[in-house]
């Protein structure tokens, strides 16, 4: 159901109907649609737990807590394989990308951003996602040697201030950019 309809359009009622079970049974075993999705994709961690760890200490240090939580999952050999499969599917399939995007945007990143810094929460969430996606791709998928071989603590120390800024810093005013690509002579 998630793969054919996408995350947003797949409802617990429709999923239960396709499985010929009562929706209450799905709620009983999985609780929420995000937990059902995580189980369907074989997510090696519970997004609710990650959100709880990040939000636990308030705004101060949230960027570092987010990075520590994400790296804890990625550094675990057993959980890395399913996450690599999810990332590879998202980079090679429009439907896979849409599902992962909808899930992460609505159920993880926006929830963190809205809870910590509600002003411009969607932009803050997207900036955090861009930093995290680039970092995880470079370390675990592309395996850039400097990142692939660096100790996690060193990476967290280098990147946490950026993530923290995206979550709580002044994002400034939008800048108008001239995109005229015609060379001037």
Q: Kindly state whether residues 83 and 146 are assigned to the same domain.
A: yes
Confidence at residue 77, expressed as pLDDT on a 0 to 100 scale: 81
What pLDDT is stored for residue 79 in this prediction?
76
**Same-domain status, 96 and 134:** yes
pLDDT tens, residue by residue, 91-140? 777 777 777 777 777 777 778 888 877 788 888 888 998 999 899 989 99
Structure tokens at 11: 């409802």
Answer yes or no: are the C-beta atoms of 64 and 160 closer than 8 Å.
Answer: yes
Residue 182 lies in a domain: no
Weakest-pLDDT range from 78-87, 143-152, 157-166: 78-87
Cα–Cα distances (Å) from 55 to 23, 49, 50, 59, 91, in that order, read 30, 10, 9, 7, 29
The yes-or-no verdict on residue 159 having pLDDT over 80 is yes
Same domain, 63 and 116: yes
Domain count, the chain: 2
Tokens of 115: 């809870």
* Residues 69-108 as b or e (16 or more Cβ within 10 Å = b): bbbebbeeeebeeebeebbebbeeeeebeebbebbbbebb
**pLDDT value, residue 44:** 62
Q: Is residue 72 one of the residues assigned to a domain?
A: yes
Q: How confident is the model at residue 6 (pLDDT cuts 50, 70, 90)?
A: low
Residue 176's pLDDT is what? 77
Is the same domain home to 35 and 50?
A: no
* Per-residue pLDDT, 4: 64
Q: Are residue 100 and residue 148 in the same domain, yes or no?
A: yes
Q: Are both 163 and 130 inside the same structural domain? A: yes
Q: Residue 163 is part of which domain span?
A: 45-168
Any domain includes 133: yes
Q: Could you report the per-residue pLDDT of 161-178, keeping only the tens digit for each? A: 999 999 989 988 777 777
């Amino acid at each position: 159901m998630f793969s054919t309809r996408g995350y947003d359009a797949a409802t617990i009622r429709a999923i239960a109907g396709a499985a010929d079970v009562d929706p209450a049974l799905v709620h009983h075993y999985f609780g929420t649609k995000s937990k059902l999705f995580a189980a369907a994709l074989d997510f090696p961690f519970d997004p609710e737990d990650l959100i709880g760890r990040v939000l636990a200490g308030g705004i101060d240090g949230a960027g570092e807590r987010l990075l520590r939580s994400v790296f804890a999952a990625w550094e675990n050999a057993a959980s890395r394989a399913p996450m690599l499969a999810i990332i590879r599917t998202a980079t090679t399939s429009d439907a896979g990308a849409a599902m992962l995007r909808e899930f992460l945007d609505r159920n993880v990143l926006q929830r963190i951003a809205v809870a910590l810094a509600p002003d411009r929460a969607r932009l803050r969430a997207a900036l955090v996602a861009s930093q995290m996606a680039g970092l995880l791709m470079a370390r675990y998928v592309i395996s850039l040697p400097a990142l692939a071989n660096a100790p996690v603590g060193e990476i967290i120390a280098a990147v946490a201030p950026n993530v923290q800024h995206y979550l709580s810093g002044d994002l400034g005013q939008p800048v108008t950019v001239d995109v005229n690509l015609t060379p001037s002579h």
